[in-house]
Structure 1
Amino acid sequence: MAAALWTAGWQDGMVTYEQALGAGLTRGQIRQLVRTGDWVRPFPGTYLVAGADPFLGRVHAALVRRPQAVVCGVTAARLLDLRALPALSTSEPIHLLITGSAARTAARGIVLHSGSRAGTPVWWRRGVPVTSVTRTLADLVLAWDRPEAVALLDAAAHDRRFRGVVEVAAHLLGRRGAAARFRWLAEVDARTESALESRLRLVLHDHGLRPPEAQYAVIDENGRSVARADFAYPARRLLVEADGAAFHGDHAADPEPLHRDRDRQNALSRLGWTILRFTWSDVLTRPDHVAAVVRHSLARP
């Protein structure tokens, strides 16, 4: 058993059937480990031992029968530590890029993508091959809807994961659905600091209310910074913010963030600024309401 666990330790808790046998376990012992739940079989011929990383172990397991495959899509994005990704679930499939001549049948829980790897450098993360950042971004831009795709690109641009959207565009050329996606690349803004900001910006843009300023600093008469807002319409002294769940902190445990927020709001009011805040719920379920509130504030004398 110790030899099998040692092998699994090099593979984020994954061991193959052949490796387990080679480590001295019998077929009966392997069946018993699975039966008791000590080992879990993610895909045929592979096992996750107790304490295995459920995501990374499954990635290793998915590659066992396809040594020439490269991890791609959202699986690669997670290994590359890209932001603005959906929450990871235990049922999320592992995405692999294969060449056109490779067999396309896969075990349940593995999604195969057939395509060329020409011009696509292979990176290595946690001992597995993954598509590069720009290729991964291009793949997800083609697979996702506009709000999710732009938020992903905003986050990568903000984190300086690529030099310019032209690098992503190079991986879109000639691919099905790419024409519409090129327009999305023009909407990327590296100043954006969260996925909610990205979504809010698109809502405003789509309603003809594109903010002229982002990450705008309000300065008082003494030259001191009073606040920095996500979006601003300086001519109308209107600020718009994406109000994430953790914006104000835990008031009971630490009232200081609330006090700072009140001081900030009072200072802005004294300087003649109005600030509007919108939550995830507002942006996702009431985009027309968000636009109407902003439009009304801009129209005030």
Structure 2
Amino acid sequence: MLDDLLRQHDGVITLAQALECGLSHSAISRRVQSGHWRRYAHGVYFVDDRPFSTAALIRAAVWSYGPRAAASGLAAAWWHGILGREPDVVEVTVPRNSNGRKHPRSTVRRRDLQPVDIVEHNGLRVTALALTVVEAAVRRGGGARVMDTGLQRHPELPVLWRAHLRNRGRYGSPRARMLLQGAGEGTRSAAERLFARLMKSAAITGWTANHPIGDYVVDFAFAGSKVAIEIDGLAFHTGPDEFQNDRVRQNRISLLGWTVLRFTWQDLIEDPERVIAEVRRAISA
């Protein structure tokens, strides 16, 4: 029973779980003293006969804050399989009235979540997928790509909106609203409006929208310097046929002597300074 539990829980075990498996306090102490078990936090141990994996880190961090804690943010995104890299720190959400100090490689958010926004996944309490997508998208290292991945694989946009509205006032809520608006119908036109605002705020002139080039119409063009700008929405709106057609279109425009720059909604939201710098460089070349 103990071996099965450790295998299912990535080598992490709590004091309560060990006692339920029939170990005594003294047996647990002997394992810690011998170095076979390593104490991560009070009442949370890692069996040091295997690598301390990302899953072990997240599980240990969440369990160290007690039974009402849940992984959230990028940690929850990793747990749900919509974030490919290990989060730098494990974000844990606990009820507002929780006590206790911060533990290693973790950050705590204190707020009361509704039951619909918490699930148990692989034996760990985590924020439900919809709330995870909305929150992780506004964390550093998350971004529109996390929302895009979540929408490609799992919940529909109205489900994300409901999770967002249930949790208004949280950290990153205004930016999440912008991403959700960009992910809705008309994503491309919303991105185009945002690009136009960036150009105006940077005092970059000489461009026209919906400019014809050969048999095509590009989103923006600097005719004097022959620079064409194409704006993409989130990837989940683009099927394989549209992706292929876009590449054929771009090649033909380039063969007509134009420089083509492509920017995504994610570029415009997360890195507008780079977008402006690349446009300036292209039109002054």
Q: 1:288 aligns with which of 264, 276, 280?
A: 276
Match of 1:254 in 2: none
> Which residue pairs with 1:250 in the alignment?
none
**Counterpart mapping for 1:91-170 below 5 A:** 92-118=88-114, 120-140=116-136, 144=139, 148-164=142-158, 166-170=161-165
- Provide the C-alpha distance between the structure 2 equivalents of 1:26 and 1:211, rounded to a whole number of angstroms: 72
- 2:242 aligns with none
Q: What's the secondary structure of 1:207's corresponding residue?
A: helix
Equivalent-residue separation in structure 2 for 1:296 and 1:66 (angstroms): 58
Q: Deviations over 1:243-280 (max 9, x none)?
A: xxxxxxxxxxxxxxxxxxxx9986554456543478x9
Q: Encode CA deviations 1:88-129: one digit per residue, 9 max, x unaligned.
A: 25xx33322222222243433333322122263322221112
Distance between the aligned counterparts of 1:204 and 1:234, measured in 2?
9
State the one-letter code of the partner of 1:156: G
Q: Can you give the 5+ residue segments of structure 1 that lack an aligned partner in the other structure?
A: 193-198, 222-230, 243-262
State the Cα deviation string for residues 206-250 of structure 1 (Å, max 9, x = none).
Answer: 33599979xxxx9989xxxxxxxxx953777835599xxxxxxxx
Question: Could you tell me how far apart the structure 1 residues matched to 2:194 and 2:170 are?
Answer: 25
Q: Does residue 238 of structure 1 match 2:228?
A: yes
Q: Pick from 164, 182, 195: which aligns with 1:187?
A: 182
- How many pairs align? 245
Residue aligned with 1:57, SS: helix
- Residue equivalent to 1:275: 260
Q: How does 1:4-153 map to 2 (within 5 A)?
A: 4-17=2-15, 19=18, 22-23=22-23, 25=27, 27-34=29-36, 39-45=37-43, 46-52=45-51, 54-61=53-60, 62-63=62-63, 66-83=66-83, 87-88=85-86, 92-118=88-114, 120-140=116-136, 144=139, 148-153=142-147
CA contact (8 A) 2:118 2:126 kept: yes
Segments of 5+ residues of structure 2 without an aligned counterpart are 233-247
Q: TM-score normalized by structure 2?
A: 0.61
Describe the SS at the equivalent of 2:156: coil
Q: Distance in 2 between matches of 1:182 and 1:266?
A: 35
Percent identity, please: 16
TM-score computed with the length of structure 1 as normaliser: 0.59
Q: Are residues 135 and 104 of structure 1, via their aligned partners in 2, closer, same or farther at CA, if it must alter by over 3 Å?
A: farther
Secondary structure of 1:108 counterpart: coil
RMSD of aligned residue pairs (Cα, Å): 4.8
With 67-76 and 105-114 compared, the bigger mean Cα shift is at 105-114
